[in-house]
Amino acid sequence: MPYTAPLKDIRFCLEHVAEAQGLADTALFAEATPETVDAILEEMGKLATETLAPLQRPGDAGSQLINGRVETPEGYKAGYDALAEGGWMGLAAEAELGGMGLPLSVQTAVNEMQASACLSLSLCPLMTQGSIEAFTEHASDELKEKYLGKMISGEWSGTMNLTEPQAGSDVGALKTKAEPEGDAYRINGQKIYISWGDHDLVENIVHLVLARLPDAPSGSKGISLFVVPKYLDDGSENGVTTVSLEHKMGLHGSPTCVLAYENAKGWLIGEENKGLACMFTMMNNARLGVGVEGLGTAEAATQHALSYATDRVQGKVAPREGQELGNAIIEHPDVRRMMMEMKARTEAARAICYDTAKALDMARAAPDADRDMWERRGAFLTPLAKAYGTITGMKVAEMGVQVHGGMGFIEETGAAQFYRDVRVTAIYEGTNGIQAADLVGRKLSMDGGETARSILDDAESEMHVATSEITRSLVAVHTAAEEATMWMLAQNDMAERLAGSNAYLMVMSTLRAATLLHRGIRAAEVRMSDDPDFYLVKIAIASYYLSHVAPEAIGYAISAKQGSTLHYALTAEQMAL
């Protein structure tokens, strides 16, 4: 089944779950009126459905390195050009720089549709969006003038170069060198796992490269950030060579490159030895973007599985009292369970991602007195959005294969591609384990737990506005999350926190999703007469999440509080026995 952009679901989540429509009331985002946002969503929905989605299956054939140049799958160039011509790279870029100046919340909804339609291709504009952010925040006026316009227009694309063979998540171990030469630097070293590090979609590729200056301090305190274009102003090549393409489990259309820098010319962005902080500007919002990749895949995999389940006739369906059922597998109780869970998990991930984007928008647009609060909330929610979004993508894509049965294991159906493609998102931009460590190690403690308590308070407020079976489920999850949070805050030994960090991230993610979907139920109930069929679906799916998925948090909370003792019950040697 081809992907169809779920515009009504997206609008409902933006307006009534994340409550992002209020951004138009701020001075910064006054242009983001409901009419403008609606027109943008409609246009991207059409582009994603009609132009990008047909590239999903052909793109699985993969990009190829031929005579030192990367050639992308057939149709990718036309798809990328459609994105560039529509101005989609600069949707959230500042208007004075050539962008539209719209909220990240709108960009997030747009990115979801691109990821659903063709995840491999969507990574290219996502990398460029991050590069635009890093330039906007840290580059000199001269570098902004030279590069930003081209990236915002989509004429040039951007990349992020951190990882090296000996330095994965430990970026402080990188060895790439930068030697001063006049007003520039000569960059030498090798980078691996560079998404869209080379391709044939644009005129030039702008690499953001972490490297060490001579006599720089060791570790992460001695890293600087440089812009290294593939081609120089005179059109000559700049010493950036694509050594090879990684052979990957999935995401074949997206070229993941090994790049060699041999005396390449680069220019410093930000201050010397402050490169990691500059790169984190790009990385933090990229983490939300990767969570949205998981969300987008979940939506596409759900649509794909639903189409198959409603058409596939197999077995005899046990009748339900007072209800005549057809013979399609969607009527089998276990298939129905999987489809409801897929839809519920997808809506939960959408709620968290849009809610995070709204917090990051408010950190820029709220009155001065409130910005710090919103900034801390956005920082706390970002690891949730990244990890929960990608976990949802993997879980839902895997269930989609199961719905297809044996046909899900056969590549022709396309069900397996969703899982193969999305699997890497749990590793991108800091593994989900790193997100969990960031949550308990930094975000939980940055204000003595105040932001975490505000997330708990939001759930408590929801609990007081309604009393139903669904609300009682939220109460149980809140209790579990509160106990886990208090336990975490009481631990002075960081090793004990880290031992339960993944479970705690799942507790807080589930609580936040349950709170937001409970809010959505209330919004749907008061609007039921406007569109009964649609709002009935909203209530049913959210109720399913609260009743059947959210209780997982209770088990996660127990695990979060266990500490590290059993993790180390065996030595490394004993584990091999």
Amino acid at 382: T
> Given its phi and psi angles, is residue 415 left (phi above 0), alpha (psi -120 to 50 degrees) or beta?
alpha
Q: How far apart are CA 418 and CA 345, in angstroms?
A: 16
Amino acid at 262: E
Is residue 400 a contact partner of residue 339, using CB atoms and an 8 Å limit?
A: no
| Cα dist from 385 to 225, 353, 380, 556, whole Å | 26, 5, 9, 17
Nearest to 391 by CA among 359, 348, 437, 356: 348
Name the residue with tokens 């316009």: 149
End-to-end CA distance of the chain: 47
Tally of CA atoms within 13 A in the half-sphere of 111 that contains its CB: 33
Q: How far apart are CA 191 and CA 188, in angstroms?
A: 10
> Given its phi and psi angles, is residue 204 left (phi above 0), alpha (psi -120 to 50 degrees) or beta?
beta
Reduced to 3 states, what is the DSSP secondary structure of residue 397? Answer: helix
Is residue 304 a contact partner of residue 415, using CB atoms and an 8 Å limit?
A: yes
Q: Which two tokens stand for residue 576?
A: 């091999």
Structural element, H or E, at residue 551: none
Q: Could you confirm whether 429 is annotated as catalytic?
A: yes
**β-pair partners for 120:** none
Chain centre to alpha carbon of residue 386 = 5
Torsion sign (Cα): 190, 193, 194, 198: positive
Q: How far apart are CA 526 and CA 528, in angstroms?
A: 6
| Cα dist from 314 to 260, 307, 335, 506, whole Å | 54, 15, 12, 36
Is residue 201 a contact partner of residue 151, using CB atoms and an 8 Å limit?
A: no
Catalytic residue among 112, 293, 347, 429: 429
In the 8-state DSSP scheme, what is residue 237?
Answer: B
| Cα dist from 112 to 7, 23, 89, 248, whole Å | 11, 19, 14, 23
Reduced to 3 states, what is the DSSP secondary structure of residue 193? Answer: strand
- Following DSSP, what letter does each residue of 492-541 receive, concatenated? --HHHHHHTHHHHHHHHHHHHHHHHHHHHHHHHHHTTTTSHHHHHHHHHH
Q: Is 351 exposed, middle or buried (0-12, 13-18, 19+ CB in 10 A)?
A: buried
Q: What is the CA radius of gyration of the chain?
A: 24
In the 8-state DSSP scheme, what is residue 3?
Answer: -
Q: How far apart are CA 88 and CA 153, in angstroms?
A: 8
Is residue 111 a contact partner of residue 126, using CB atoms and an 8 Å limit?
A: yes
Q: How far apart are CA 77 and CA 58, in angstroms?
A: 13
Residues with active-site annotation: 429
